[in-house]
């Protein structure tokens, strides 16, 4: 049985693959998202003149398409999994779960656990994944 635990945020996804209760490999997928920092509008040179408006919709639309590509890369890594566990801060796991439900329903059915967690070391994450799938690694 192949079990995969994924910790993801907007910068990268970290995955741990367990096969038959033993850790097989670890992988990292960078997000390649551009972090936009739109500046505020500027004032006109004339007194009480018009003010330039920042178009947030343009930045949000670009981010939406970049997230879609990022989630597609992650989904490609998960295709042959039997069980999945999703972890991450804020809304990243929720957005990924919605993407799975709408575009990858066969993967969405394999998700056994979705939990909000803060950032952690690689060893802490491996222990969390093993605990989530009830793998006892004391004797391995």
pLDDT band per the 50, 70, 90 thresholds, residue 111: very high
- pLDDT digits 0-9 by tens, 53-106: 667 788 888 889 999 999 999 999 999 999 999 999 989 999 999 999 999 999
- Whether 86 contacts 15, CB under 8 Å: no
Name residue 16's beta-bridge partners. 5, 26
pTM for the whole structure: 0.81
pLDDT score, position 51: 62
The predicted pLDDT at position 80 comes to: 93
What pLDDT does 42 receive? 60
Quick one: pLDDT at residue 73? 95
- Statement: residue 119 has pLDDT above 60: yes
Surface-to-core class of residue 6, CB atoms within 10 Å of its CB (0-12 exposed, 13-18 middle, 19+ buried):
buried
Q: What is the pLDDT of residue 139?
A: 45
| Residue 140 reports pLDDT greater than 60 | no
SS3 44: coil
Q: Which domains does the chain have, with CATH numbers?
A: 2-34+57-132 (3.30.420.60)
pLDDT in tens, 1-21: 999 999 999 999 999 999 988
DSSP H or E stretch at residue 12: strand 12-19
Phi then psi for residue 8, to 5 deg, are -135, 145
Looking at residues 37-50, what average pLDDT do you find?
63
Select from 17, 10, 48, 13 the least CA-distant residue to 126: 17
């Amino acid at each position: 049985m192949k079990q995969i635990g994924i910790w993801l945020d907007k910068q990268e996804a970290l995955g741990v693959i367990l096969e038959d209760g033993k850790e097989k490999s670890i992988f990292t997928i960078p997000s390649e998202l551009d972090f936009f920092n739109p500046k505020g509008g500027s004032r006109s040179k004339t007194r009480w003149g018009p003010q330039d408006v920042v178009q947030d919709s343009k930045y949000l639309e670009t981010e939406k398409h970049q997230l879609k590509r990022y989630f597609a890369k992650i989904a490609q890594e998960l295709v042959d999994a039997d069980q999945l566990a999703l972890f991450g801060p804020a809304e990243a796991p929720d957005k990924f779960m919605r993407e799975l439900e709408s575009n990858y329903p066969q993967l969405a059915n394999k998700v056994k656990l979705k939990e909000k967690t803060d950032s952690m070391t690689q060893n802490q994450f491996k222990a969390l994944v093993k605990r989530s799938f009830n793998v006892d690694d004391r004797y391995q």
